[in-house]
């Protein structure tokens, strides 16, 4: 999924931030990207089977609420 080599080419420009540095920022969330991330989070809970829609939904909400708990507007 994605563009071949994109991460490798962008890595030299990457910056890391602590949650405190992001307090007050606004995140624009890509829907398919959120679904992909939530699906991966749900699969980590039980990698032996596919997660249900409810599991993916719960992990998506948990992820978004986690951002908001750090002071990042979604």
Record the pTM.
Answer: 0.75
1 belongs to a structural domain:
no
Query: Residues 10-50: pLDDT tens digits?
Result: 999 999 988 889 889 999 999 999 999 999 999 998 889 89
Domain range for 24 is: 6-69
C-beta separation of 46 from 21 below 8 A: no
The CA distances from residue 43 to 26, 57, 68, in Å, are: 27, 12, 23
14 belongs to a structural domain:
yes
C-beta separation of 36 from 10 below 8 A: no
74 belongs to a structural domain:
no
Per the listing, tokens 């951002």 go with 67
C-beta separation of 59 from 42 below 8 A: yes
Torsion angle, alpha carbons of 48, 46, 60, 35, to 10: -10
Q: How many separate domains does the chain show? A: 1
13 belongs to a structural domain:
yes
Query: Residues 39-56: pLDDT tens digits?
Result: 999 999 888 989 999 999
């Amino acid at each position: 999924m994605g563009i071949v080599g994109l991460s490798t080419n962008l890595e030299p420009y990457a910056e890391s931030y602590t949650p405190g540095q992001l307090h007050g920022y606004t995140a624009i969330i890509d829907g398919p990207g959120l679904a992909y991330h939530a699906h991966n989070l749900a699969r980590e809970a039980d990698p032996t089977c596919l997660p249900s829609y409810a599991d993916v939904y719960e992990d998506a909400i948990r992820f978004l609420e986690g951002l908001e708990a750090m002071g990042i507007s979604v």
